[in-house]
Amino acid sequence: MNDEERLRYKFFLGTACREQEVMYATWADINWGKKEYRIRQKEDVDFKPKSHEARITPLPTSLVNDLRDRHKNPPHERWIFINSDDSPETHFLDKLKRIALGAGVNCGHCRTTRTVQRTVAGNRYEKQQIEVSCKTHPVCERIKLHRFRKTKATQWHEAGIPVRTIQHWLGHKSLETTMLYLGITDSAKLRDKIDEAHGD
């Protein structure tokens, strides 16, 4: 990843935000002093989080520092991440799939169809369906933006952050949804607690 890409996906991981919540992130949503990001409605772009989704979520200090650097000479005065025509970035997933392909981390087993234009005769074109594999094309289904969200939820949980707090930070309506995000902690990481519980 280049620096721009790294910051984008660091933001996904650091905030555990949904794709649209990153897409419509603005500089005004960052509270630099408290190191927080406020997810709020933006009517002009039709971004309307539900009431439990509008919230304030914490930013790790290293991410705040990276954002502060970017803010000194921002690519856009309102949006934090933009595409080549100065509007909010809408291709985070496609771009991540390309990075994954370049890094050789695609699973190699996904197959899907793509529509391509083929020249038939002279300057006549025809649309054609071709089968592509994630071995050679950026189509791996294992690459998902949502994984950043699940990973961060698990990291917060393992760091001892209360589940109700994680639920709020993720913008989940029900605690059950949050529970589904959290993996089972490896017993090696809990060894001290296991022994302490037994009085060892």
Out of 1, 82, 93, 110, the residue judged to bind Zn ion by CB under 5 A: 110
Assess 140 for contact with Zn ion (CB under 5 A).
yes
Quick one: which of 46, 16, 10 has its CA closest to 172?
A: 16
What is the secondary structure of 129-157 as a DSSP string?
Answer: EEEEETTTSS--TT--THHHHHHHHHHHH
* Closest approach of Zn ion to the CB of residue 95, in Å: 17
Candidates 35-43, 84-92, 101-109, 181-189; binding stretch for Zn ion (CB under 5 A) = 101-109
Out of 134, 153, 166, 170, the residue judged to bind Zn ion by CB under 5 A: 134
Assess 107 for contact with Zn ion (CB under 5 A).
yes
Q: Could you tell me if 143 and 100 are in contact, meaning their C-beta atoms sit under 8 angstroms apart?
A: yes
Cα-based distances in Å from 91 to 5, 87, 159, 182: 12, 11, 32, 27
Binding-site residue total for Zn ion (CB under 5 A)? Answer: 5
Which residue lies nearer to Zn ion by CB, 16 or 143?
Answer: 143
The binding site for Zn ion (CB under 5 A) comprises 106-107, 110, 134, 140
